[in-house]
Structure 1
Amino acid sequence: MNTDQAPEPDNRPRKQTWKRMIWSFSKLIAVVLILTFFVRGFLFTNYIVYGKSMMPTIHDGERIIVNKVGYEMKEPSRFDLIIFHATEESDYIKRVIGLPGDEIYYEDDMLYINGVAHEEEFLEVHREAHENGLFTEDFDLEGQTEKTTVPDGHVFVLGDNRQNSVDSRHIGFVSTEMIVGEANMTFWPPENMRFFK
């Protein structure tokens, strides 16, 4: 009579493996959450655009990615798309037209900066669809802001939809300290995904 019995299976190694896997997965999730918080809080963020002031460049309801660190290393450039704190409740997206020291005026739908004409290629699609006179009404900086040039530490901004935009013609210069960051791309809806010029 054979009295040998098969040994009971030892489940300890398997349990330890599962514990290690769960612990590793938990650490991975924690790292991802921390990185996401860091990236979203300090490097990039996203916004939903409301309104038509930046059409056709950006449409109402599109979601955009905003680079929050670029202006820590450099100053805004002409024609950048920026997000800034316009009021305590609202952030606006507009295009930088004037930089510190610039003298700006529009005449016959042409932008002049320091007496030199500048083409605004990003407006061409909108101009083609616009039939009611000038797309950008004539104005000069002094008439709009009582300043002859853009002050240090500020920019002059306009919406791309010049006929339907609350911008520096109404709210004045934007302090660079109020700039959240530069709009780089739209990612939603997916079929509209694109980088901004």
Structure 2
Amino acid sequence: MPRKSQSLLYQIFIWPLKTILFVLRISFLTGIIIAIWYFLQIVGIFTVRVPVSGASMLPTFPEEGVISFQRYYSNAKLQKYIPQTIQHGDVVVFENKKTHEELKRQEKDATGFVKRAVGLPGDTVLIENGYVYVNGKKIKESYILKPRSTYGSKEVKDCQPVKVPDGKVFVLGDNRKISMDTRQIGLVSFQDIKYYIPFEKQLGSYDKNWRDTTDDFTKEHDSLFDVKEYTALLNDERKKNGLAALKY
């Protein structure tokens, strides 16, 4: 075959074929690298930086910041080979229709809601007198901002136990007085969880902001009405209206 014909044949068939094979090799290697990267995120060797906004997770997280999380996958096939289990005390990031609507209403660009797993499938959770009970046991929560500060709302009422079904988790923010969580938006599906921090990985870093819970249960019968705080608020309003301050 003449040399010119061979060159033409190469340009028409061989060179495009080699180009395609090269692209396939690069794509294959890229896929492997991405798969390894995600695997390392799943097992916690590499973490994902997630922006956190708002005061609902005080004192554990700051009001504004970026926190390192472990990627979570709820896919049943993947869980079979790389099991991940959400445990009590884990902090989770989740997204669903309700979180999207609320974040849009607040005009925030946050990734999702960041809350703490308190009740798992099979657990019975009860909120009563400012405390949280799990399976009949009142729990000490060093991570919450203030003791005896948990009260019900529209989805979870005070003194009404909630049985957590399969596939769901009961979540609460650490700053209980302002957090929007299961009490307002209901139980969270494991399918909605994107990232998490196991409780044991919070120790030695985030726990430096937690409280001493020694006296938490001794306040059970104390009045929840703070007279000094109420008087201060009342005097602020009286001052605005030119009235003399009340004394207590």
Give the TM-score range, shorter chain: 0.5 to 0.7
Letter in structure 2 aligned against 1:150: V
Measured on the aligned residues, the alpha-carbon RMSD in Å equals 3.4
Higher relative contact order (CA 8 A, sep 6+): 1
Q: Which residue of 1 aligns with 2:137?
A: 116
TM normalised by structure 2 equals 0.51
Structure-to-structure mapping, 1:1-197, within 5 angstroms: 34=33, 38-39=37-38, 43=42, 44-69=47-72, 72=79, 73-87=83-97, 89=100, 90-123=111-144, 126-127=145-146, 134-137=148-151, 143=157, 148-183=162-197, 195-196=205-206
Cα distance, 1:86 vs structure 2? 3.3
TM normalised by structure 1 equals 0.63
Moved more, 47-56 or 84-93: 84-93
Letter in structure 1 aligned against 2:92: I
8 A contact 1:70–1:182 mirrored in 2: no
Identity among equivalent pairs (%): 29
Matches of 1:49 and 1:37 in 2, distance apart?
Answer: 26
The answer for unaligned runs of 5 or more in structure 2 is: 1-28, 101-110, 208-248
The size of the alignment, in residue pairs, is 150
The answer for unaligned runs of 5 or more in structure 1 is: 1-29, 129-133, 186-193
State the secondary structure of the residue aligned to 1:155. strand
